[in-house]
Amino acid sequence: MPEDTQGRHVIWHRTDVTRADRERQAGHRGMCLWLTGISGSGKSTIATAVERRLHEEGYRTYLLDGDNLRHALNADLGFSEEDRHENVRRVAHVAKLFVDAGVVVLCALISPFREDRARARALFDAGSFVEVHVHCPVDVCAQRDPKGLYQKVQQGLIQNFTGVSAPYEPPEQPEVRVNTDELSVEQCVNQILQYVRPRLCLDGDKVTV
């Protein structure tokens, strides 16, 4: 990375241990699985189940859940459009660090705008970012309403709610799309893992399913 050009005198420090070193130690590639979808679609549930399966199979994993991050790292952010952009930017940079560490990191957050998700993808090497669209019709999500948010929207207690009164731009060409109104959690997990497993293998490794 070049020297700082914004007058802050902050220069990138290169470390001796590389991503390739960490991946060889882990025995698999680092990867970011970015799960996007409207509230109630099942992002966190599926991300949790995918992480559990990968962990049990011996992969190094970590789950960055959007709500959890808003308790600390992004506690200063609200839900304006500007804050939503910044929320995705921060999570993407944290995820990049995990991938550099040779970890399979799962990011589960609404991330409603295509432009933000494209910027997140651009941080990663080709093949290291997998966009997973967790799709579910808004009426089904409203029926589920696991956090009671849709009810608060109907009561006028929440404004600018994604998928109802604020836009959600679904991925046009995600690597994986799971339809949670049609498939069980296990079926969704299997669909994601079928795509991911071969791509986690280091060169020369055999795929185990």
Yes or no: say if 116 and 88 are a contact pair by the CB < 8 Å rule. yes
3-state secondary structure of 188: helix
44 classed as catalytic: no
**Upper half-sphere CA count for residue 44 (Cβ side, 13 Å):** 13
**Upper half-sphere CA count for residue 113 (Cβ side, 13 Å):** 16
Yes or no: say if 150 and 164 are a contact pair by the CB < 8 Å rule. yes
Alpha-carbon distance 159 to 106, whole Å? 28
Of 111, 128, 165, 184, the active-site residue reads 111
Alpha-carbon distance 23 to 25, whole Å? 5
Q: CB-based contacts of 47: which residues, under 8 Å, 6+ apart?
A: 33, 35, 63, 65, 106, 107, 108
Retrieve residue 76's tokens. 């200063």
Residue corresponding to tokens 């799960």: 35
Tell me which residue of 97, 98, 35, 93 sits closest to 67, measured CA to CA.
Answer: 35
Question: Where in the sequence numbering do the catalytic residues fall?
Answer: 111
